[in-house]
Structure 1
């Protein structure tokens, strides 16, 4: 009889994969260990991503922005050139000394809206005043009638970037001829030169909020009160 032979059990095909599997597991463990290391053990030159700071609110909590002095007036319905929202320019505040807006420190954009709608102004030079932002004149000897092309019922908008350092934006008006006036004010915070957050929209002289054609809500006028 031929000698008996002992059957050798076949090795599983997974046996050949064990070294590769062990290498993969080791790599995963090393990666997990790196994630658990404290910052002090991070490689030199490595930088941690800084979280983007949350934008501060434009208006300081519990603050009441508003006008200082002056009178409000609403004109009869009429067409106003250079705008799709004539209602903004048919109310105005005049003879005020300032608007004060408590807000977070930093850069902001300020848009000032004007249209000469007083029937007593018939030509250039009959109403002249200066507007200053944070104490700096930005519109010296402003003549709205002249700026609008020597015509009344024509809107003009002046925009400025300003740095608020004391926690309150101050817009001052100094008369030269007749009384200063303004129709609307738009203030928006800037972050790295770009608009950030919601804008404060003031419909000067208005007794009620106004929804513009673009859907934005312009706030009714109100008197300033210290925060």
Structure 2
């Protein structure tokens, strides 16, 4: 059943909905986000109260987030961003709770801020629910026919047919899945190819990019570990699937130059990790491209500096072999080889690699010049913050002032994967917490922090307020000639000295 706009639900159903809401808010997904919890509670209560018509972006921004009545919805996207986060968290909650009974399920449909309540019924019959309209509109009673909720049952059935993987049956939570059939056609020129290894379904990530199901493989076994927590990514589902064993991919490509990105996260060494051992050295394997080794005795735990951590390796100037295929081979040395995802991205002539991250922002964002900023990615530690009020002072009418409405703060790092080469790194800041008109008060000297790149200090006792000349003033710091680590990363560490470190944006540009 989906509530119609302006309808109120009888008291027994209201109690059931509020009980379900309480369970959702106590779940791990919502406990970690006060903003999402308050948003969901707000829209549910107003839907129950027959105030669905009031659930508009502007009214939510004013009532829930304290924005001024005339706020610019193009500049302040916090309502839309939060709604998208809530939808994802609800999907995660019900996927994790698949085997648990729910008399009612709470949903927030795309394009709407009105909560929907879907009542569970048996698959052999349908049920009817009386929904009473508010007295202010009409006294009639509308009977709504409720279709059975079958989506969760289909997912549960799919999980049920997965069999345990024999070779790694000692790993709790690992399940083998049926192999998808390889697709026979070549990747179209200029088109990016993204594959989630071991997955039978496509996936759209936080940046709006589509990842296809597993294909072009031979050998190995598909596994899924659906409950693993993965660090340094906003898209853990990419790393919960894998192909493992000894296997290869033969990917048909048009002639040209490509960038290859391989994604890994070690989730299968729970029995090998202890207070005395991080799991390094427990799994080693080789990876080759067209017969040429690109990773030798590769140890994902050592490369990522930890288990259950997203790790990405980047290789430039990759071309198909003479037969028109890109041949990727994964061969074990100790334990089984594996891969979680593969990207093959065409490189245009004269292309300059540019990589931008909007810190604290949950989706991709495009600036006025057409530059794409990825959702907050590759971080470890710290906290994401989206401000209801943009900290940029009105006198600085920046075209892309919205960049400074979000940040990551605390004690944190970014491990940005790049190919071999030299890079220019630009860090963007705007003090939005300290200052006379900001909630933290104070001013110069209120916040000091260090920034390190690959272990070398870039900034020491850095004071954004002082360097920028006050609060609400954008500030950039650029550093040239930076090379990646042996693990193919530009590792930026933000270390508090007084108060908390923060950053609004990170830009990495290849130096030709």
The two structures have a TM-score, normalised by structure 1, of 0.56
Deviations 1:150-172 (A, max 9, x none): x2100110000112242111111
Q: 1:213 to 1:69 in 2, by over 3 A?
A: farther
Q: 1:131 to 1:93 in 2, by over 3 A?
A: same
Instruction: Give 1:1-227 correspondences, 5 Å limit.
Output: 56=189, 58=191, 65-118=215-268, 119-122=270-273, 123-149=279-305, 151-161=306-316, 162-166=318-322, 167-192=324-349, 194=351
Paired residues of 1:113 and 1:158 also in contact (CA < 8 A): yes
* Separation in 1, partners of 2:327, 2:339: 14
Ranges in structure 2 where 5+ consecutive residues have no aligned partner: 1-187, 193-213, 274-278, 353-361, 366-512
Deviations 1:127-182 (A, max 9, x none): 00011112111111100011111x21001100001122421111111110001001
Q: 1:79 to 1:108 in 2, by over 3 A?
A: same
Q: 1:193 to 1:95 in 2, by over 3 A?
A: farther
Q: 1:76 to 1:163 in 2, by over 3 A?
A: closer
1:199 alignment partner in structure 2 = none
Deviations 1:73-129 (A, max 9, x none): 111323211111011111111014211110101210100000000134431111000
Q: RCO (CA 8 Å, sep 6+): is it higher in 1 or 2?
A: 1
Q: CA deviation at 1:192?
A: 1.5
Q: 1:159 to 1:142 in 2, by over 3 A?
A: same
SS at match of 1:88: helix
Q: CA deviation at 1:57?
A: 5.4
Ranges in structure 1 where 5+ consecutive residues have no aligned partner: 1-54, 196-211, 216-227
* Separation in 1, partners of 2:321, 2:190: 15
Equivalent pairs, count: 143
Q: CA deviation at 1:193?
A: 5.1
* Separation in 1, partners of 2:256, 2:265: 29
Q: 1:90 to 1:65 in 2, by over 3 A?
A: closer
Structure of larger gyration radius:
1
* Separation in 2, partners of 1:126, 1:112: 20
| Alpha-carbon RMSD | 2.9
